[in-house]
Amino acid sequence: MSSAMEQRCYSPVSFNEEPKTSLESENAQLISINTAPTARRQRLRTIWLSICAAVLLSSYTALVVLLARRTVVEDPTHGGRIIKSLAADYVQHEIREIDYLDWNQSAAFFGKPSKTVDSNWHELVKYHNIGLPDSYMQELGREYQGVQFPDGRYFGSLMVYHHLHCLKHIYHALYPEYYADARPAAGQEDEFQKHTEHCLGALKAYVMCKADITIETMLWSPKHSLPLHNVTSTHQCVRWDSILDYAKANNEDVFADGMLVHPTYGAVFKDRKPVNVF
């Protein structure tokens, strides 16, 4: 609010009269209410005060609404996060209707194995390898163990990609006849089983950590006596394209020559092929 406006609102009406004592002046005002010219002034004063009050009230309301909107709806940054993430400034949220009986969506990633399913998975996770700044590794106190690239950044990934990898691993495990990586070599069966258990455990922990509190309702079906779930609900979701923006902007090609060099065992890939993988 400008100070000019405040003056307009609060400066007392001046009377072009001889100066009086404060008591006289008050009496004069009380008496003068009935006299015509001062009554007009009083009306004007009331009108001005009403306008000022209306302006003040609407500015205040607009400010409160704006701030609340920025915090609740438009806040593209932290979405209630209290732990720092380098992706926080990228992440945006949206309200999205999800139908868990969307068979096409399920089939695209979990249907019978096919080239299309494989390419969908490839597209989904292709930016999972990213570079982290040195400063972030120092904050975590992990620079001593980090895997550093020649450009000084450290090898990292968003956890969401780990969980997607786990879903893919479990999916592959369902179709060992199609997926070679689901057919452990002789003697490696236990290790493969452990990997699958780790993935299921990680996904359970993740589901409970994020605990989707969207309410689900039940429905009566003409075909069944027991109530069914209505699995279509309105969810508060992270916008996947905002995650992609971060992952893409920080993507690193870890298969390129010289990117992954073990301090003892040397280069891991040569001409994009594993040379030293164990």
Binding site for ligand NAG (CB under 6 A): 104, 219, 230, 232
| Of residues 27 and 217, the one with the C-beta less far from ligand NAG | 217
What is the closest distance, in whole angstroms, from the C-beta atom of residue 268 to ligand NAG in the complex? 40
Q: Which long-range contacts (CB under 8 A, 24 or more apart) does 53-58 make?
A: 55/5, 56/1, 56/9
What is the closest distance, in whole angstroms, from the C-beta atom of residue 118 to ligand NAG in the complex? 17
Is the distance from CB of 161 to CB of 128 less than 8 angstroms?
yes
Residue listed under structure tokens 């100066």:
19
| Of residues 96 and 270, the one with the C-beta less far from ligand NAG | 96
What is the closest distance, in whole angstroms, from the C-beta atom of residue 103 to ligand NAG in the complex? 7
Q: Which residues contact 212 (CB under 8 A, 6 or more apart)?
A: 235
What is the closest distance, in whole angstroms, from the C-beta atom of residue 244 to ligand NAG in the complex? 22
**Three-point CA angle 201, 203, 207, nearest 5°:** 120
10 exposure class (CB count in 10 Å sphere: 0-12, 13-18, 19+) = exposed
Strand locations in the chain (E): 93-99, 130-132, 154-156, 217-219, 228-230, 232-238, 261-262, 266-267, 269-270, 273-274
What is the closest distance, in whole angstroms, from the C-beta atom of residue 104 to ligand NAG in the complex? 4
Distance CA 43, CA 13 (A): 11
What is the closest distance, in whole angstroms, from the C-beta atom of residue 172 to ligand NAG in the complex? 23
| Of residues 210 and 224, the one with the C-beta less far from ligand NAG | 224
**Three-point CA angle 132, 137, 143, nearest 5°:** 120
